Amino acid sequence: MPSLPDWLPEMVRASLVAEKLRGESEQWLRESNGLLLYGTIGHAAYLRADGSVWFHAPVDRIRDPDRYEWREASPVERLGAINLGVKKHPELRELLPTRPANAPDCRRCSGRGSLFEEVQCPDCGGLGWIPHGAV
């Protein structure tokens, strides 16, 4: 993981305070301990002050859809979640790697960053190229 900007812990703390003021439960805030990057039906991603990204998702969507767990994102999942979070928090772009001039396009998405429409490429995390160490 690249070095983190000094402002990240304060940004995460401020988001937790804002969520508390909006009435989010204390238990949920303690569990998430981070800035919401995105949320969909049955899945959410949070960026923590240490730069890690955590998912809150069902353990088994088919057999046990009501039981959720926390799981840390893999390196490419982390990049993809942050990339999605940039839409809501543009300053997070600083957490994404800069593409080297010689980096080839992602083979799966041909450098587009998405497979079609709004579906982010899972191989490159929406970057269009695969950073060293992200797989």
Q: What is the pLDDT of residue 39?
A: 85
Examine the domain organization and report whether 31 and 76 are in the same domain. Answer: yes
Same domain, 55 and 110: no
- How far is 135 from 110, CA to CA, in rounded Å? 17
Instruction: Tell me the average pLDDT across 55-83.
Output: 83
Of residues 31 and 79, more confidently modeled:
79
What does the CA dihedral 84, 89, 90, 94 come to, rounded to 10 degrees?
-80
Tell me, yes or no, whether 21 and 64 share the same domain: yes
Total tally of structural domains belonging to the chain: 2
Q: 48 in a domain, yes or no?
A: yes
Give me the pLDDT at residue 65, please: 61
pTM of the prediction?
Answer: 0.84
Looking at the structure, do residues 106 and 75 belong to the same domain, yes or no? no
pLDDT tens digits, one per residue of 16-56? 777 777 766 667 667 888 898 998 877 889 999 999 999 98
Res 95 pLDDT > 80:
yes
Enumerate the β-bridge partners of residue 105.
129
The larger pLDDT score, comparing residue 3 to residue 100, is at 100
In this structure, is residue 1 part of a structural domain? no
Residues 72 and 108 in one domain: no
| CA count, 13 A, side-chain hemisphere, 22 | 9
Say yes or no to pLDDT of 68 above 80. Answer: no
Residues 90 and 113 in one domain: no
The parent domain of residue 103 ranges over 99-135
Distance CA 31, CA 39 (A): 15
- 112-129 pLDDT tens trace: 999 988 899 999 999 999
Asked whether residue 88 falls in the same domain as residue 105, the answer is: no
Residues 77 and 107 in one domain: no
H or E element, residue 13: helix 8-21
Which residues, in sequence order, are CB contacts of 66 under 8 Å at separation 6+? 58
* pLDDT average, residue stretch 62-76: 81
Averaged confidence pLDDT in the chain: 86
Residue 38 contacts residue 44 (beta carbons within 8 Å): yes
Alpha carbon distance 55, 44 (integer Å): 6
